[in-house]
Amino acid sequence: MRKVLRFQTILNGLKQPIPSNWDNISRPTLRHHDIAATESQRVSMSTSSHPVSSIHDIKERCRPIFGRQDLEAIIAWVGVFGSFSRNKQTPLSDVDLLVGFREGATKDDIYYMGDLTEELKDLLQRDVDVLYMRHLQPLDFMRCQALVTGKTVYGSGEWLRQYQPLAKRLLVDAQGRFKEVLRLERQTTERLTPLTEMDLFKQPALLCELVEDVDTLIHMLCTEEEDARGINGYFDVLHEWTLPISRMIKQYRAAGIEALQTEDRNLLWRLLTKTLPDRADSLKKIYLPILQEVFREADDVEHQ
């Protein structure tokens, strides 16, 4: 299992969000009569008796599958990421692959290709995780990780070079935004610490400043930039609380403090003094370290 997925399971129990309904459709596995390989290739594929131990092994054993005429027409690039790309694989390591499709590949082409996972498990004699990526598909966190740390096992590097700069930019942007969120959270918490709920709503100037800071924090946390929507899904737990507070900010700006009923004021106070520090703690202890680990992996791969 990939390292970042292990972080998800142990530290926060989240599953990687799926970027579209189509991605959630299970594809058929490869059927025996669909494999356009020679009989000798089938024998070599089914008699690999030992697990792959290097990227070279992966390239050699994957060639009979990715070299098939029907797959070659729709697959532009395949890369390995995770422990193998860092050259830190162990006897228990999975093989993590990203399969990138050509620009002209249709959803039907990809669907009827079948899921390659089981075939690759037999071939590589290891557990295999496969991510699929369509042309111009929005990049979620896992695909960004795969793109910045991946090493080619099939195809040319041209496809990778098309997407890798955007993946790097999205990860660097997320890290920068999250650091600013932590700064704003510390500033907000310091202002609120000596106050009671009643004190806050008796100080209109302070409340106005807090509203502006929190609004900026929300926009940093869940930017509306089109390219960042995919990666933001991975961090849903951090900004799910922002919907009610955004509603109250709109009410406050439209009609002042009188627009906030008692229950709204109570909720706003809880969100600012309890929920916000809690989410900031998760950001600091879980999500920023995950991003930093991806940057370290990318640096390791680049300097090998």
User: How many CB atoms are closer than 10 A to CB 158?
Assistant: 9
Gyration radius (Cα) of the chain, Å: 24
Each domain of the chain, given as residue ranges in start order, spans 48-155, 169-302
- Please tell me whether residue 84 adopts helix, strand or coil conformation: coil
pLDDT at 53: 94
Q: pLDDT tens-digit profile of 226-237?
A: 888 889 888 888
In CATH, what is the architecture of 48-155?
2-Layer Sandwich (3.30)
pLDDT, averaged per 10 consecutive residues of the chain (304 residues), comes to 38 39 46 40 55 95 89 94 92 95 89 84 94 92 96 92 95 95 96 94 92 94 86 87 92 89 94 95 95 91 76
Backbone angles phi, psi at 75, to 5 degrees: -100, 125
Question: In which region does residue 95 sit, left (phi positive, over 0), alpha (psi from -120 to 50) or beta (all else)?
Answer: beta
Per-residue tokens: 13: 């129990």
Q: pLDDT tens-digit profile of 231-266?
A: 988 888 888 889 999 999 999 999 988 888 999 999
Nearest-CA neighbor of 149 among 21, 304, 281?
304
Per-residue tokens: 51: 């697990």
